[in-house]
Amino acid sequence: MTKKTLQIIDDTLKEIKALDTKKLNLTKINSFTDILFVTSGTSSTHMSAISNKLIRALKKNKVEIINLEGKNSSDWVLLDLGDIVINVMSISAREYYDLESLWDDSLT
């Protein structure tokens, strides 16, 4: 994971106006990833735009996307970069799954 990759993700999410983005540092408490992003879109179209813009920005900067899940989902798209995982969720899915509650608030 590089600071540059994190900056690309942060900048892209801000530029596309993703909602309520949380970045959790999980480095010391799990083995599946170091940084977990959770963000939302206002609609399935907005979620698609967020994930597409992220994909383009990451590829442009030669950041490998290991796995992409839910590309055509209206509720949840997951981009796995290995040490960074990005969750783009609908507002209702985010409320239902409440991923942030699984982790301590001090991680944001």
Q: What is the pLDDT of residues 51-66, one digit of tens each?
A: 999 999 999 999 999 9
> Is 108 domain-assigned?
no
In a domain, 25, yes or no: yes
Q: Which residues constitute the domain of residue 8?
A: 3-96
Q: Is the pTM of this model over 0.85?
A: yes
Tokens found for residue 10: 């942060």
**Residues 79, 71: contact at Cβ < 8 Å?**
no
In a domain, 103, yes or no: no
Q: List pLDDT tens digits, range 56-95.
A: 999 999 999 999 999 888 899 999 999 999 999 999 999 9
Residue 108 reports pLDDT greater than 60: no
Q: In what order do the strands lie in the sheet with 35-41?
A: 19-25, 35-41, 84-90, 76-80, 67-69
Q: How far apart are CA 84 and CA 97, in angstroms?
A: 19
Report how many domains make up the chain.
Answer: 1
CATH number at residue 43: 3.30.460.10
Residues 37, 100: Cα–Cα separation, whole Å? 10
pLDDT confidence tier of residue 106, bands split at 50, 70 and 90: low
